[in-house]
A and B are shown apart, each in its own frame.
Chain A
Amino acid sequence: MSRLLDVRDLVIEFDTRHGRKRVVDGVSFHLERGEVLGILGESGSGKTMSTLAVLGLVGGRPGVVQGQVLFDEGAGPQDLLADLGRVVKPRGDRLVKNDRRWQRLVHRTMRPLWGRAMTAVFQNPRHSLDPLMTIGAQVEESVRLAQPELDRAGRAGRAVEWLARVQMNDPKRVHSSYAHELSGGMCQRAMIAVALARAPMLLIADEPTTGLDTTVRAEIVALFRELLADRRRSMLYISHDIREVLFLADRIIVMRHGKVVETVAVADLKAGVGERHPYTASLLAAADLAFEAAA
C-alpha cells in the first residue's frame, strides 16, 4: 500500500488589501500509515494553513490554492484537490478559491472523508465546541456516525466511555455539561473524545495545547501519546513547541516563511546524526536551554 498522505508542491495565497500574500510556498511532505508526523514552526510559518488545506477547511477568503494532496484510504491515492481543476475557474494555470463555489466543491470531495478518514482537533478548545449543546450530545453525534447501529442508551454509554478514556475525572457529569462550564483543558479532552469517537485513520492536531496552562499541556500531550500507542492511526501534530513534537512524533518537518526547511527523523535528531539546518539548530538550542534551566 502507498503512503497515507502525500502533499506535493502545495501553494496557498490570500488576497489582502495589500495585494496577494503567499502563506504556503511549495510545501511537500508525506505521512506513512501509523506514523506521527510533527510539523514545527513559529506562528505565520504556514503550518496551520498547510494542514487546513489537507482537511479542506482553508475557508472562503479569496485567494489561490494549488498543488496535490494525495490521500489513500486503501483503494489507491486520491488527489483531494484534483476536483477543483474541473469546476473552479482557472486563472492562468492556478485555481482561484472563489468563495461559495470553492466551499461547495471542497465539501463534495471531503464529506465522505471527514471524520471517518481524517478529523481534527484545533487550538482554542473552548471555541471548538458548540456552545448550545452538551458535551455528551456532541460526543454522541460522533458515536452515531461511527456506529449507526447503536440505540440511544448505547450511544450515551459509548460517549461516557470515551469521556473516561480521555481521562475526565467525572465523565457522567461532563456528559451533561456545556463547554462554558469546563476548563480549557477539559474542553480539549472533550474535543479529543469527539474526534476519536469517529475512529479516524488520520488525526490532525493543530496546536492543541496553545492557550493551556503548562501542567495541562503536559497532560494533553501525554494523553495523545497514550491514545496513539497502539499505532492504529496516524497523526499530524502541529506545534511551535519543539519539546512536544520531540515527545510525540516519529518524524519532524520544520517550516518557516511558508516553506519546509528541514525534514528529519526524531531518532536522528535525538542522536545528533547529520547536519542540522541553522533554524532547526536554533530551535533545538532554545529547547536545550529550557531543559537546562528546568534541570
Chain B
Amino acid sequence: MSRALRLLLAAAGRTGGALVLLMGASFVIYITIRSAPGDAIDAISPMGTPPQVKARLLAEFGLDRDPLTGYFAWLFRSARGDFGDSLVVAAGESVMAVAWPAFKITLILSGLTLLASLALALLGALVLGRPAGRQQLLTGPLYVITSAPSFVQAVLLAQGLNWTIHRYWEQLNYETPPWYPIPIYTDSLMPYVFAGLALLLGDGLFMDFFNAIRAELEGLRDAQFIAAVKAKGARTWGHIARNMLVPLVSGYAARLPIVLGGVVIVEYIFTLEGAGYLLLEASRERDFPVVVGISVLFTATVIGSTLIADVLRTLVDPREVARGG
C-alpha cells in the first residue's frame, strides 16, 4: 500500500472514531435530559409554557418514545443542524440562528487566547531554557497568580479597572473612555481583550502549558539525534521545530476544554454576547433547546480539535501510521 493511501485511511479512521465519540457524547447529553426527575417535560420547559409548545418540545426531544428511538430521532434532527426553536432568550428563532453567531465569538475569543498562551509559553521556554534556581523567583509567583480561576481574574481585572477609571478619569472630568469595562460598549474590542487577558491569566492554564512545552523542548534538546545532528554540523532548529509541531498542536487541543470552561463565566462577567453568556442566560430562563444546542456545539468543538491534532500527528509522524492508528 502506498504511504499516501495509508495516511488517507488512517485519517478516515480517526474521523470515523471522532464521529462515534460525538454520537456517544450526544447520547450522554440526551440521557441526562431523560434523567430529569418527575415528568421530564416539566423539568425542561420554562414556567408557564403553553401546552402546544410543551407538545412540540416533547416531540423534538423524542420524550414520548422510549430512550433509544427517541435518541435517534433527536440525533437525526440535530445532525441536520436543527436543534428546535428558542423558547425564551430569542423566542421563536431557531436555536442555531441564535447560538451559532454567539458561538463564533466564543470560539475566536478562546482560540486566540489559547494561541497567545501557547506563543507566550513557547517564548518563555525558549528564553528561560532549563529550570534553574533563580528562575523560580519568576515562575513561582507566576504559578500562584495564574492558578486562580479565570472568573476571579476577571472580577479583579474589572474591579481594578473600574476603580482606576473612577479614581483618575472621572475625577478629572474626562469622558468615559471607550474601553470602560462595565457596562460594556459592544462596538469596542477592549472588553474582549480584557476577557482574553483574564482567561490567559487564569485556570492554571499558562504555567501548565509553559511547563509542558519546556519539558518537551528540553527533552528534545537532550535527545541523542539532536546531538547527532550537531555532530554532523547541521543546524538543529529545523529538526527541533519539526519535532515540536505535534506536541504543540496536541497540547493546544488538550487545553481547549479548559479555556472553553473558563470563557463561559468570563463572558458573563464582561457581558460579552458569546455562547457562554447565552448558555448561562438560557440556563437561567430554562430555555432548554438553546442549552442543549450550545452544549452539543461545545462538545463537538472539543472532539473536533482533538481530531485535527490526531490527523496532524498522523501526517507528521510516520510512526503513527505504522502503529495502525
Which residues of A are in contact with B by a Cβ distance under 8 Å? 55, 57, 59-60, 99-100, 107, 110-111, 113-116, 118-120, 122, 124, 127-133, 141-142, 145, 178, 180-181, 191, 194-195, 198, 204
Contact = CB atoms under 8 A, between A and B. Distances in A.
Nearest to B223: A127
A57 B225 contact: no
Given A130-B239, A131-B319, A180-B318, A59 B228 contact: no
Interface residues of B, number: 24
B232 A57 contact: no
A128 B228 contact: yes
B317 A120 contact: no
Given A120-B231, A128-B224, A142-B234, 12 more contacts: A55-B231, A57-B227, A57-B231, A60-B129, A99-B132, A115-B231, A122-B228, A128-B227, A130-B229, A141-B229, A180-B319, A194-B232
A180 B224 CA distance: 15
Interface in B122-147: 129-130, 132
A122 B224 contact: yes
8 contacts: A57-B227, A99-B129, A99-B130, A119-B231, A120-B231, A127-B223, A127-B224, A129-B225
B92 interface: no
B187 interface: no
A114 B243 contact: no
Chief secondary structure at chain A's binding surface:
mixed
B234 A131 contact: no
A59 B231 contact: no
B38 interface: no
Given A99-B130, A178-B319, A130 B231 contact: no
Which A-B residue pairs are the 10 nearest by beta carbons?
A115-B233, A114-B233, A120-B231, A127-B224, A128-B228, A178-B318, A115-B232, A119-B231, A100-B129, A130-B225
A120 B228 contact: yes
Contact of A131 (B221, B232, B317): B317
B322 A181 contact: yes
Contacts of B108: none
Contact of B233 (A127, A130, A191, A198): A198
B115 interface: no
A275 to B, nearest CB: 38
Contacts of B222: 59-60
A145 B234 contact: yes
B4 to A, nearest CB: 13
Interface string B206-241: 000000000000000111110111111110000100
Contact of A141 (B232, B318, B322): B232
A119 B223 CA distance: 17
A145 B242 contact: no
A127 B225 contact: yes
Given A132-B242, A180-B318, A195 B231 contact: yes
Contact of B232 (A60, A132, A198): A198
A114 to B, nearest CB: 4
Chief secondary structure at chain B's binding surface:
helix
Contacts of B130: 60, 99-100
Interface of B: 129-130, 132, 221-225, 227-234, 239, 242-243, 316-319, 322
B233 A194 contact: no
Contact of A191 (B132, B228, B319): B228
A122 B227 contact: yes
Given A100-B129, A124-B224, A127-B225, A145 B232 contact: yes
Contacts of B233: 111, 113-116, 119, 145, 198
Contacts of A131: 225, 243, 317-319
A107 B226 CA distance: 13
B221, B319, B322 — which one has the most chain A CB atoms within 10 A of its CB?
Answer: B319
A120 B222 CA distance: 16
A195 B227 CA distance: 12
A180 B318 CA distance: 9
B317 A132 contact: yes
Contacts of B132: 99
Contacts of A118: 231
A57 to B, nearest CB: 5
Contact of A114 (B223, B230, B317, B322): B230
B228 A129 contact: yes
A133 B242 contact: yes
Contacts of A178: 318-319
Nearest to B318: A178
Contacts of A120: 227-228, 231
Contacts of B317: 131-132
Nearest to B228: A128
Nearest to B229: A130
B289 to A, nearest CB: 46
B231 A180 contact: no
A118 B318 CA distance: 31
A124 B224 CA distance: 8
Contacts of B234: 115, 141-142, 145
